[in-house]
Amino acid sequence: MKTIDDFNFDNKKALIRVDFNVPLDADFNVTDTNRIEAAKPTIIKVLEDGGSAVLMSHLGRPKGQRNPGLSLKHICPKVSEIIGVQVKFVDDSAGESVELVVSELQPGEVLLLENLRFYAEEEKGDQGFAEKLSKLGDIYVNDAFGTAHRAHASTTIVAKFFQDKKCFGYLLAKEIDAIEKVMRTGEKPVLAILGGAKVSSKITIIENILDKVDHLIIGGGMTYTFVKAQGGKVGNSICEDDKMELAMEILDQAKKKGVEVHLPSDVLAANDFANEADTQVVDVDKIPDGWQGLDAGPKTLESFGEVIQKCRTILWNGPVGVFEMENFAKGTIAVGNYIDAATQNGAFSLVGGGDSVAAVKQFGFEDKVSYVSTGGGAMLESLEGKTLPGIAAIIGA
């Protein structure tokens, strides 16, 4: 696996695919700078070597049309502030006018290209567009994990034009390493905590990780499909009746593979899907009609804590309750605290997937776990066992 450390960028131009698809407010201010900060070490390495950096990214979904509201010029001041270098901007992504600007770039300078998705060719993975992009750098660096699962021109196809002059940036290399630790090289026992609403959205992940883990904690809304499949009463809780047979198959597979599955024993149930609803703690398989489970109960959290504390490699994908509502966030916060304690005790912990990442940020666990993934879809496809196009393009798989 070639990383940016395998190259010296002295007097070279690095064409870097970053993921600057960041949220903006009504005044075009960046409201979450995590992705920009995550790309900084890669950019700084190029500059400190004596090279220059040409940054390319997408923003939003302009669908091949120029949309002034989605121009990357809006984020240029924030990128300059974070990197500590005045970033230049060019209002196009490819072609002779951009090549001219790039040719005048001096060592130590950074140039940000216009939104790649203003061109429909980007998402189509167009070879001609990728070739135009390839003329903008001497070495190609992919540091955008969030789009590594897309075979787009800038994430995958462009790598063809660089032969042995392509590599991963620090961020993408870290993402690959974190997933490797969970899926292949991590210290045992290995634990996966899977939450979220639906079994259907996690089927392929569960099937793929059963060969890799020793323990599987199932929480959140998908709990109730498993409970009802085993004859329990789940009241008005979310439940995929058409997936009950599959749930039983998963439990059977886990047993055959020697994986211990841990389901909630009690839950905090509510008489309405609302923060101010009446609540009661009930056994997970005895939820009354008209009530729905919205968070893990105290006995469940105690048993989950015991499992988490004895594991050395932990993957957390999905909350164990409706954490967006304060009264049903206690379970997810407790799991975060248990993982924090395990991490302090030497365990490796990886958090990935949109909702769990949102929860970790909301409750201040970002710096208390080993790694928080920057790519939702890419992370999930990695856990499903798929080889991501953006990664295959660099390693030649």
Which sequence positions are flagged as catalytic? Answer: 35, 198, 354, 377
As given in the structure block, the two tokens for residue 260 are 């211990």
20 assigned binding-site residue: yes
324 assigned binding-site residue: yes
35 assigned binding-site residue: yes
59 assigned binding-site residue: yes
Tell me how many degrees the CA angle 199-177-141 measures, rounded to the nearest 5: 110
58 assigned binding-site residue: yes
- Beta carbons of 367 and 340 less than 8 angstroms apart: no
Cα–Cα distance for residue pair 176/77, rounded to 1 Å = 30
At 196 the three-state DSSP class reads coil
Cα–Cα distance for residue pair 151/391, rounded to 1 Å = 10
The amino acid present at 255, given as its one-letter code, is: K
150 assigned binding-site residue: yes
Residue 350: φ, ψ to 5°: -120, 125
293 assigned binding-site residue: yes
As given in the structure block, the two tokens for residue 212 are 């890799």
Cα–Cα distance for residue pair 74/54, rounded to 1 Å = 17
- Beta carbons of 282 and 312 less than 8 angstroms apart: no
Query: Cα 344 to the chain's mean position, in Å?
Result: 23
355 assigned binding-site residue: yes
Cα–Cα distance for residue pair 276/326, rounded to 1 Å = 9
80 assigned binding-site residue: no
Please write down the long-range contacts of 95-102, taking CB distance under 8 Å and 24 or more positions apart. 95/132, 98/136, 99/135, 99/136, 102/13, 102/54, 102/136, 102/137
19 assigned binding-site residue: yes
CA–CA distances in Å: residue 35 to residues 143, 373, 388:
10, 11, 20
The amino acid present at 347, given as its one-letter code, is: A
Residues annotated as binding site for (2R)-3-phosphoglycerate? 35, 117, 150
Residues annotated as binding site for substrate? 19-21, 35, 58-61, 117, 150
Residues annotated as binding site? 19-21, 35, 58-61, 117, 150, 202, 293, 324, 353-356
Residues annotated as binding site for ATP? 202, 293, 324, 353-356
